[in-house]
Structure 1
Amino acid sequence: MGGNSAVVVGGGIGGLAAAIGLRLAGWEVTVVERVAVLDDAGAGISLAANGMRALAALGVGEAVEAAARRQYTGGTRTPDGRRLSLMDGAALERELGAPIVGIPRTGLHRVLREALPAESLRIGAEVTDIDTSQPPRVRVAFGSTTLDADLVVAADGINSRTRQRLFPAHPGPAYSGSTVLRAITRRPVEGLTTDFELTWGHGAEFGHIAFPDGRAEWHAVLNAPAGVRYPDPLTEVRRRFADWHEPIPALLAATAPAAVLHHDVHELATPLPSYVAGRIALLGDAAHAMTPHLGQGACQALEDAVTLAAAVAGERTVEAALSRYDAARRPRSQTVARDARRAGRMGQQLVNPLAVGLRNAAIRLTPPGVMVRTVLKHADWTPPRIAPRTA
């Protein structure tokens, strides 16, 4: 299919990546994003090999690597600093042929935006209607503009209005039981010697992602009722993690109070029966929002984007392309979401002291080769080729 037009609803990582992929497939694309600034200033992100392979397939892998820090060192620890497992990022990179990297979300958004022509981005505009009453075209209204499209990609996040419209009986997002506070330090952090690290306590996790300039993003994940908020979030995190090992105190000391973000973690605990309806495709969190415990949310959205573009490029009709996309993406992404939920229950969310002790002992006794295979289960993904049909 060539010379067709698509509207992407949502200008986050998945939506921008989908737009890049569809343009590679020969389509005209318009991205409509309701917020005026395309970033998440207080957050960083780790991208596993599957995410980096997807970015390479979109032609932006080298630019992302240039803005990121490769993750070779770190692992998992207990609050007193004892090692549970060591990270061997170099071994994983050799095995997969792609690195694990850490990057500020602002940097990733910038690379993705710069791969698109400015005129294809409609920022600060909210989609108000998606009209499917005159197939095969879909009419999308935003602001004072109306566009007719051959395909609509709904990448409008966990609270996707498009998903609610397509699947009104679906219960929607569910609270996971975890809440996360996070920030990027305002300066380089002294004593930060690892690229990526997680520390597990009882119903709590603290982790960091180091950046090329010496700054880092940290996150604190806590078991908590939904909606709990603190008058001074940074003071609360310092209190909660006061006796945890370095560099946790150093990370918090390098943080400005106003930089701390606080969000409850929701997920689509009930899997969707389909990621497509007519000529509308759901992508990223709109399709399979998952907990962060495997670090796969953005990677799965990037996989979605490449798979959708390859399907559109390789099939004669939009309907056939979306059927192929759904068949490829739904089983894998829903499996990753389920595994992320399980990882949280056995990791950050675990509270019982006996269970925590047994888990820690099991991790220490796990051979490194088994740990590598566990990572490979999710990160070993080969992107399809985005090659438009010639006949």
Structure 2
Amino acid sequence: MRVLVAGAGVGGLTTAIALRARGFDVEVLEAAPRPRTEGGGLGLAANATKVLTALGVDLVEQGVGRVCTSFCLRTTDGRLMRDLPIGSISAELGSPVVNVRRGDLLALLRDSLADTPVRHGARVTDHRVRRGGVTVTLADGGTRTADVLVGADGIRSAVRARLVGDQPVREHGYVCWIATAAFEHPRLPVGGAAHYWGSGQRFGLIDIGGGHVYWWGTRNVASPVGRRTAGKPAVQAAFAGWAEEVRQAIAATPEADILAVPAQDRPFLATWGAGPVTLVGDAAHPMLTSLSQGAGSTIEDAHALAHHLAARDDAAEALRRYETDRRDRTRGLVAASRRLSRVEQLTNPLATRLRDLVIRHAPMSAVREQNIAPMRYDLPA
């Protein structure tokens, strides 16, 4: 069976790895003219690292990223609100949480594909289902044919648009600035991650190894144009007066390395495919970053898709089984991310005070369950 994968991000590359491991003939089509190196960092939860290890991609063994050994929530001025039991959660689930530069993860995934072709500058613009397969049209007028097409081309997926129409994304009223930088600070230990919560804005500071950090900052912004502005002075102004390590991390970052990403997702899509065509990751179920499960759920999709395609001779039936298998879990993650995002970005003084009290005094059992639940995932038998 020949499979075309549209998109060479985390979802597309992992899908190709999973399919190749099952013996499929795979080609990846990527719109960008060259391999991606930008994009800040990622927190890969235990479910994601579990699946990657099963696919032969062991970040710890290959020295990519940093295992997260401590995770705390702090006030804007750096006072500790809560230590989260990330170590015991990883131990229970049998797989680590790993924080990694996105470009390093993509490079590792490309290396793991070995001789699988990844065609850059090959933007998918259309596809047509034909007898026994699908024909894909590229922006340069070229075509490719295959038995199956997998849309892994992100939140603005061309494959999705062809399936269900070109629908607008949904914005949630805040910007997320993201960057990586060479930076160390005594308050951020090796393997440490810290989130700082304020009123209508937050900041994350995460060790990704090699003397580098991944950081992100959010802020409620009414103007859609403002949600796409990444000027360093604006970021510094937003976090003026915050903890020393927050201000120093921003100061240590070259302006060109700071990206502005509006907080976006989509209404959950009930139908992910038709015939020999399906979707994975952000093309199917884009979600806000609050649960750190965007990449993790995408990696799960890739493994499940390969599992179902290998189990049945009828490709269309296998794809519908895959979609049914994944729909409830991903719907729950999208909804939970949206709920948590609303709590994180609160601006009402009374509501934020109550939120912070809950963070400080909630029973540890409840805190632990809230954090471990999204990471529970069993590999298909």
Matched letter for residue 153 of structure 2: D
Task: Judge conservation of contact 2:228–2:261 (CA < 8 Å) in 1.
Answer: no
Task: Judge conservation of contact 1:65–1:101 (CA < 8 Å) in 2.
Answer: no
What's the CA shift for 1:192?
Answer: 4.7
What's the CA shift for 1:320?
Answer: 2.0
**What's the counterpart of residue 235 of structure 2?**
237
Task: Judge conservation of contact 1:63–1:111 (CA < 8 Å) in 2.
Answer: no
Deviates more, 1:247-256 or 1:139-148: 139-148
Aligned residue among 89, 94, 100 for 1:92: 89
Query: Which structure 2 residues correspond to residues 47-196 of structure 1 after superposition, within 5 A?
Result: 47-62=44-59, 66-118=63-115, 120-132=117-129, 134-142=130-138, 143=140, 145-168=142-165, 171-185=167-181, 187-194=182-189, 195-196=192-193
**What's the counterpart of residue 370 of structure 1?**
366
Q: Unpaired runs of 5+ in structure 2?
A: none
- Distance in 2, matches of 1:263 and 1:271, equals 20
TM-score, reference length from structure 2: 0.95
Query: Which structure 2 residues correspond to residues 298-313 of structure 1 after superposition, within 5 A?
Result: 298-313=295-310
Question: Relative to structure 1, is the Cα distance of residues 298 and 231 closer, same or farther in structure 2, using a 3 angstrom cutoff?
Answer: closer
Structure 1 residue 202 corresponds to structure 2 residue 199: yes
- Distance in 1, matches of 2:305 and 2:183, equals 39
Secondary structure of the equivalent of 2:327?
helix
What's the CA shift for 1:232?
Answer: 6.8
Matched letter for residue 111 of structure 1: L
Structure 1 residue 356 corresponds to structure 2 residue 360: no
Secondary structure of the equivalent of 1:271?
coil
Cα RMSD (Å): 1.7
**What's the counterpart of residue 258 of structure 2?**
260
What's the CA shift for 1:40?
Answer: 4.5
Matched letter for residue 19 of structure 1: A
What's the CA shift for 1:308?
Answer: 0.3
**What's the counterpart of residue 389 of structure 1?**
none
Task: Judge conservation of contact 1:42–1:260 (CA < 8 Å) in 2.
Answer: no
Q: Unpaired runs of 5+ in structure 1?
A: 386-391
Q: Deviations over 1:308-328 (max 9, x none)?
A: 011111123112211211111
Secondary structure of the equivalent of 1:309?
helix
Task: Judge conservation of contact 1:291–1:341 (CA < 8 Å) in 2.
Answer: yes
What's the CA shift for 1:190?
Answer: 3.2
Task: Judge conservation of contact 1:64–1:108 (CA < 8 Å) in 2.
Answer: no
What's the CA shift for 1:63?
Answer: 6.1
- Distance in 1, matches of 2:238 and 2:366, equals 33
What's the CA shift for 1:188?
Answer: 3.0
Task: Judge conservation of contact 1:189–1:254 (CA < 8 Å) in 2.
Answer: no
- Distance in 1, matches of 2:278 and 2:334, equals 19
Deviates more, 1:21-30 or 1:144-153: 144-153
Q: Deviations over 1:256-276 (max 9, x none)?
A: 1221111212101x1112122
Secondary structure of the equivalent of 2:284?
helix
Secondary structure of the equivalent of 2:218?
strand
Secondary structure of the equivalent of 2:104?
helix
What's the CA shift for 1:60?
Answer: 0.6
Q: Deviations over 1:222-257 (max 9, x none)?
A: 111322168772111111111111310221121112
Q: Deviations over 1:84-110 (max 9, x none)?
A: 211222211111000111000011001
Task: Judge conservation of contact 2:228–2:260 (CA < 8 Å) in 1.
Answer: no
Q: Would you say how many aligned residue pairs link Structure 1 and Structure 2?
A: 377
